[in-house]
């Protein structure tokens, strides 16, 4: 079976350069998606405490190990520390709970989901709100949270740590103060938000950039985003016998980004993985560059208007 190429991380571990996103893949659907993905060659699976599907993802992985399809070390499992657990005192406990959700004894990559913490009420109140329905944030410094995540590496609970939704200044602050470097910054990245500046910054610091929402969450009813429904991209797709989502994913890989498209449809899971037998020309890459608008599908609207000092998207990158 053909697997995705891997990239060597700054700590020596290898990470497959294409992963399966699992947001909204829950219950049987989530389990089936991960199983099918492993069957067709995915080895990198992205989930999060917030997605409430760690048990299903873990079961799928454990079943595939039991079937002899993969060994644990073949899988690169990524999950995230949710925002309500930023208090350093909570980090180890919730990480252990996540391991028990998976039924596994280590996580490959543990990301801080966002630089902004939320108020802790209990483990299940993921979006704590006040009587006026306003999200309650916390002022924990993400550096303190990060230092607690470093301990998880030392304890052997996680192999690598990283961040998500961090801007370049926040990432620089982590890099300047950490003992264990983050291996990736997971941020939104698609032709509409190609993250060239942040990717260059990450590269200079030996940090990879993982691209979420790489397909811009296609909406066939309104034919958005443009890059998926573009006749121009369709011409390129036709040349290679591919689909426009495949061209988009190949473009992102060409930019040095690690895309994690989500699908729970078996055909589309297979389709999104089938991008390693062709390459785009410089001219074709330039066509895709033309769709950059800088607009986000995921601007973190819940916290955007709350003036938190760590809201990440107020600077250029
Ligand atoms: N760190 C963060 O804050 C953060 C934020 C957002 C997302 N993420 C991660 O990134 C992953 C991907 O992002 P996303 O789920 O927001 O968006 P996405 O991957 O751009 O789009 C997912 C949507 O596209 C559809 N789709 C998938 N492949 C397709 C194809 N080949 N043709 C047409 N439609 C296709 C899926 O439907 P079907 O399932 O029906 O195929 C789903 O509705 C998430 O699942 C999650 O793991 C992380």
- Domains annotated on the chain, with CATH: 6-314 (3.20.20.100)
- Residue among 34, 44, 213, 220 whose CB has most ligand 1 atoms within 8 A, to mutate: 213
CA distances from 261 to 12, 161, 191, 276 (A): 25, 21, 13, 15
Question: Binding residue per annotation — 86?
Answer: no
Residue entry with tokens 């426009």 = 244
Calpha distance 270→263 (Å, rounded): 9
pLDDT-based confidence at residue 1 (cuts at 50, 70, 90):
confident
Average pLDDT, the chain: 98
**Residue 263 CA, ligand 1 centroid: distance in Å:** 6
pLDDT-based confidence at residue 26 (cuts at 50, 70, 90):
confident
Tens-place pLDDT, residues 27-81: 899 999 999 999 999 999 999 999 999 999 999 999 999 999 999 999 999 999 9
Catalytic status, residue 51: yes
Tens-place pLDDT, residues 222-251: 999 999 999 999 999 999 999 999 999 999
pLDDT of res. 27: 87
- Identify the residue whose C-alpha is closest to ligand 1 atom 26: 263
pLDDT-based confidence at residue 143 (cuts at 50, 70, 90):
very high
């Amino acid at each position: 079976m053909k697997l995705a190429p891997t990239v060597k991380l700054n700590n020596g571990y290898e990470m497959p350069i294409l992963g399966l996103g699992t947001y909204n893949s829950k219950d049987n659907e989530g389990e089936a998606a991960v199983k099918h993905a492993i069957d067709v060659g995915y080895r990198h699976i992205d989930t999060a405490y917030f997605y409430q599907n760690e048990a299903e993802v873990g079961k799928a992985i454990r079943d595939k190990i039991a079937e002899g399809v993969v060994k644990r070390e073949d899988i690169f499992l990524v999950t995230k520390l949710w925002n309500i657990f930023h208090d350093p005192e909570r980090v180890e406990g919730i990480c252990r709970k996540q391991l028990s959700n998976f039924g596994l004894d280590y996580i490959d990559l543990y990301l801080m989901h966002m630089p902004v913490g939320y108020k802790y009420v209990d483990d299940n109140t993921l979006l704590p709100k006040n009587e006026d329905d306003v999200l309650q944030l916390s002022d924990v410094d993400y550096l303190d949270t990060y230092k607690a995540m470093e301990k998880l590496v030392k304890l052997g609970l996680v192999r690598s740590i990283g961040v998500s939704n961090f801007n370049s200044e926040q990432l620089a602050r982590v890099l300047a103060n950490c003992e264990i470097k983050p291996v990736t910054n997971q941020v939104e990245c698609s032709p509409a938000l190609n993250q060239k500046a942040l990717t260059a910054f990450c590269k200079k610091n030996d940090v990879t950039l993982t691209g979420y929402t790489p397909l811009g969450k296609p909406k066939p009813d309104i034919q958005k985003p443009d890059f998926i429904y573009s006749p121009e991209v369709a011409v390129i797709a036709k040349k290679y016998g591919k689909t426009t989502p495949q061209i988009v994913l190949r473009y992102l890989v060409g930019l040095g980004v690690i895309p994690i498209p989500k699908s729970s449809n078996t055909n589309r899971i297979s389709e999104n993985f089938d991008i390693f037998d062709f390459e785009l020309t410089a001219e074709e890459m330039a066509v895709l560059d033309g769709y950059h608008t800088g607009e986000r599908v995921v601007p973190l609207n819940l916290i955007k208007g709350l003036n938190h000092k760590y809201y990440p998207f107020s600077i250029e990158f």
